Amino acid sequence: LAPIRDPDAVFLHLFTGGSTGRPRSWSKTARNLFGEAFFLAATLGIGEGDVLLSTAPPQHIYGLLCSVLVPFAAPARVLPETCLFPQEILSGLETAGVTILVGIPIHYRALRTADLSRHSLRLALSSAGAVDAGDGAFFRERTGLPVTEIFGSTETGGIALRTDQTAAGVCEPFTVVDWKVASGRLAVRSPFLSPDLPRDGYGYFLTSDRVAPSG
């Protein structure tokens, strides 16, 4: 299909959650958002047989990507409501044939209940912060599935995945993201970076995240 707009022009603006201070708005391009959606769908093997249940509202970049754009790109089905309460989540898992849970850390804490069961679930996602190791271990014990965490930010987009909460914070970078460590901080070069971000002469943005290479 012929594009009707420049994929590198500003497509929309998203606010951060304010985890680093006062929330601010970041512009994102169509390439930023749809590129990441197609990448996640391919990397996580999401397809037309999948049904997604989301606990993340689509006003947040993680909810927008994983409950709107990834199902569009896959293509997959998604439940129309954002499930916020534990019983809503458990009911959806039991009755709706859900194969992918799009969760956030507080909901994995809330799902530490004897009623939790795997049902049709094959993948559990989380973002917007680290999942507590105990919460992740309980979820894995009850469902047989690890929680796959997406590490990134509104402004950078996704950077890496972590599938084992006991692995001392070790994340695996996205294959389309270049990274390096500069003075103990993570620098990334990625097609998902907001055009608002400053870059060095090689296209890297220096984040505020402290990291160390592993393996």
50 neighbors 73 (Cβ within 8 angstroms): no
CA–CA separation, 198 vs 211, rounded Å?
A: 20
Which H or E run includes 37? helix 30-43
Residue type (1 letter), 119: H
pLDDT digits (tens, 9 = 90+) for 144-167: 999 999 999 999 999 999 987 666
pLDDT digits (tens, 9 = 90+) for 29-63: 999 999 999 999 999 999 999 999 999 999 889 99
Question: What's the distance, Cα to Cα, between the start and end of the chain in Å?
Answer: 42
Residue 190's pLDDT is 96
Residue 163's pLDDT is 86
Question: Residue 12's beta-bridge partner residues?
Answer: 28
Q: Which of 3, 10, 16 has the alpha carbon at shortest distance from 30?
A: 10
Q: Which of 32, 36, 25 has the alpha carbon at shortest distance from 9?
A: 32
Mean residue pLDDT across the chain: 92
- pLDDT by residue for the chain (215 residues), tens only, comes to 787 889 999 999 998 866 667 888 999 999 999 999 999 999 999 999 999 999 999 988 999 999 999 999 999 999 999 999 999 999 999 999 999 999 999 999 999 998 999 999 999 999 988 898 899 999 999 999 999 999 999 999 999 999 876 666 789 999 999 999 999 999 999 999 999 999 999 999 999 999 988 87
